[in-house]
Structure 1
């Protein structure tokens, strides 16, 4: 089933609602300070280079 025009693009209300709900649930149920600390440790650890490369690619956006 094709998505409606309302579900496409930057104004995707369905995706925004899902994202916002996920953020709310994470803030309510997770130790966000620990998650941030773990992320910082990961950047300083052996996988840091791969994480920074993934971030760089994500910032470039999708390839068409």
Structure 2
């Protein structure tokens, strides 16, 4: 989910950079780029991802 939000933020930042505009004085394309990178880092860290817990730990069901 965070990766999708990051893609949208990157798109907005790209449009702001192309149009060379700023929102509210200090929010520019670079700000959106940094916010998108933060969201991608959180996604890679596993925050915001759905997971199902199993009894077997990280391996799930292991054949024996």
TM-score by length of 1: 0.33
**Higher gyration radius (CA):** 2
TM-score by length of 2: 0.33
Which structure would you say has the larger RCO, counting Cα contacts within 8 Å and 6 or more residues apart?
2
